[in-house]
Amino acid sequence: MVKIDLKGQVKEFEAGVTAAEVAKSIGMGLYKAACCARIDGEACDLRTPIQRDCQLEILTFDNEEGKKAYWHTCSHIMAQAVCRLYPGTKFAIGPAIDNGFYYDFDLENPLSAEELPKIEEEIKRIIKEDLPLERFLLPPDEAKGKMAGQAYKQELIDEHAGNGEDISFYSQGDFTDLCAGPHLMSTGMVKAVKLTAITGAYWRGDAANKMLTRVYGVAFPKQSLLDEHLQRLEEAKKRDHRRLGKELGLFMLAEEGPGFPFFLPKGMVLKNTLLDYWREIHKKYGYVEISTPIMLNRQLWERSGHWDHYKDNMYTTEIDETTFAVKPMNCPGGMLVYASEPHSYKELPLRVGEIGLVHRHELSGTLHGLFRVRCFHQDDAHVFMTREQMQDVIQETVRLFDEVYSTFGLTYTIELSTMPEDHIGTVEEWERNQDILKNAITAMGKDFVINEGDGAFYGPKLDFHLADSLGRTWQCGTIQLDSQLPERFQLEYVGEDGHKHRPVMIHRVVLGSIERFIGVITEHLAGKFPLWLSPVQAVVLPIAERHHGYAKALQKQLEEAGLRVECDLRSEKTGYKIREAQLQRTPYMLVVGDKEQEAQEVSVRHRKDGDLGAIPVEAFIQKAKEEIASKEIK
């Protein structure tokens, strides 16, 4: 007999009982909804036999690991469908991703979007066949034989052969794939599938490799859930920041500079207003601002550890026979600033911020609008402190994050990333710093999930994943606890005892990449920025040419009051001008005709609330100023 702990309730079963059988004993509802299981914290198939006392969790689609098992199974079903329809297909990799799944294929004739419905029909046939997914292991030599003719799979087998372990496979009917799992028990457990896109993708994301065909899809346990998801996708297309960036005149991308965005006049107003807010909030929390050089020599990057851990993503050049690197992050420059003068414990915590322009060598296939670029402004800050101040500083930083994110109507979840394999520093230091981050967050009543092995090479971190109005998440803010760089740069402060001590520090960003954050809020708000952030806050619309003089004078009056205003003097009908202003997401449209000119008023229309009627100009100015000051989102 084995004792199985099910969320605190311990039950006894015969040894060898599977997770699926345990789920069925609890209830048929859970059994039918189950996607995979977790035994003592490790994800596994529902078919896994249990031979020892353990903790068991049955994971459904509502759980992230359950969802990934569901979508990963769908990627295998899609690969099976493609191989049936197009014999001779070579298949590469097919993971579950944050919003579905994909598979990369190498075909003699690349697929087109017109062929997706045919593949969907074959997927439905495979689902109807209700094929069991069965796992088996083979030694590397036999594994390569099993994957004869599949060059990409054989390459992956060769990479894993060195560890001496058998290779894991899953089979379903006439299809077998190299995979570690976990998976659903059968293809019949999938209910609603839709293939959403087809693109090109380089093998391993490297432009030097062959271009493959990548097919994306998504699936849900109910058709209604799929329908809701597809509606959200349609809404996301309308909100695509690349489309809105062009329509609203915010930024542009050019072939002459892939991954290097150009900001246009209205985009610069938006960007500078956002940075003004950043400076305002950081001044409130006691930060000082610095600026460090865009290039520093290789010796510095070796000293910081970035050369060993990040050099493949760095741009370099030679100056006076010395290698220099364009900075991919601001941290080493911040260390030099701190080290440039002596410090006392009385100054700590010392909060130092920088909006630094950084460059990173991203692969061309990964570039995406403002979300993935090769140069961007990072709102870095480094807080130097004593060990006794660590928890207070972390909590203070989270409060700053709360204030900023709530301003944009964004909520978040927190992820604690722990020690990676290529870390520097002792395991004891890492564990101590991880506990400090945990305790600080827990004491604030906030939840977090663990992301094993994904910390920065110098320390554990808290990542803040923002949820937008469509339910999508974006990783923007981070708090990284670091006791390694202060050691490497020999940073010191004079303590209350008169002796020199080593400070500890946090790296933190709240917006992350300014460019990426602009992309996020553009999509989150569908381009309808709050009044304080809108590049154009109001447009004056004269009804006829005889009203142009009043319209120009009104524009000047509003600008002198601090508002950003345009005046539309085109010989177009007023209704057309209003529609144009609505398309530009302008918050206020101020219509002026004979009556308004005579009464020194404006007829106010709001992009959401519609016609607000005629009001005195000074009253509108006061109303606008109050809305700007409140940073209200309408």
Is the pLDDT at 579 greater than 90, yes or no? yes
Mean pLDDT within 360-380: 89
Q: Domain spans of the chain?
A: 2-60, 65-239, 262-289+327-524, 538-630
The pLDDT-based confidence of 188 (bands split at 50, 70, 90) is: very high
CATH superfamily of 65-239: Threonyl-trna Synthetase; Chain A, domain 2 (3.30.980.10)
374 backbone dihedrals φ, ψ, rounded to 5°:
-105, -15
Q: Which CATH architecture has domain 2-60?
A: Roll (3.10)
Give every CB contact of residue 556 below 8 A, 6+ residues apart in sequence: none
* Peptide linkage before 349 cis (omega within 30 of 0): yes
Is the pLDDT at 453 greater than 90, yes or no? no
Q: Determine which helix (DSSP H) or strand (DSSP E) holds 352, and give its type and residue range.
A: strand 350-359
At 153 the three-state DSSP class reads helix
The tokens of 122 are what? 């074959």
* Peptide linkage before 182 cis (omega within 30 of 0): yes
* Neighbouring C-beta atoms of residue 334, cutoff 10 Å: 24
SS (H, E, C) 508-576: EEEEEEHHHHHHHHHHHCCCCCCCCCCCCCEEEEECCHHHHHHHHHHHHHHHHCCCCEEECCCCCCHHH
Q: Tens digits of per-residue pLDDT, 253-291?
A: 999 999 999 999 999 999 999 999 999 999 999 999 999
208/289: higher pLDDT: 289
Give every CB contact of residue 272 below 8 A, 6+ residues apart in sequence: none
Measured N-to-C along each axis, helices 265-284 and 390-407 cross at an angle, to the nearest 10 degrees, of 140
Is the pLDDT at 394 greater than 90, yes or no? yes
**What topology does CATH give the domain 538-630?**
Rossmann fold (3.40.50)
Q: Tens digits of per-residue pLDDT, 219-264?
A: 999 999 999 999 988 888 899 999 999 999 999 999 999 999 999 9
CATH superfamily of 262-289+327-524: Bira Bifunctional Protein; Domain 2 (3.30.930.10)
Q: Tens digits of per-residue pLDDT, 519-577?
A: 999 999 999 999 999 999 999 999 999 999 999 999 999 999 999 999 999 999 999 99
pLDDT in the model for residue 628 = 97
pLDDT in the model for residue 177 = 93
Mean pLDDT within 594-612: 94
Q: How many residues does the chain have?
A: 634
27 backbone dihedrals φ, ψ, rounded to 5°:
170, 145
- Output the CA torsion 531→533→535→538 (10° steps): 10
- Output the CA torsion 63→174→161→49 (10° steps): 50
Catalytic residues: 331, 360, 378, 380, 382, 461, 507
pLDDT in the model for residue 79 = 96
pLDDT in the model for residue 483 = 85
- In the block, tokens 């030097």 appear at 208
Euclidean distance between CA atoms 174 and 443, whole angstroms? 54
The pLDDT-based confidence of 387 (bands split at 50, 70, 90) is: very high
Euclidean distance between CA atoms 129 and 173, whole angstroms? 9
Q: Mean of the per-residue pLDDT values for the chain?
A: 93
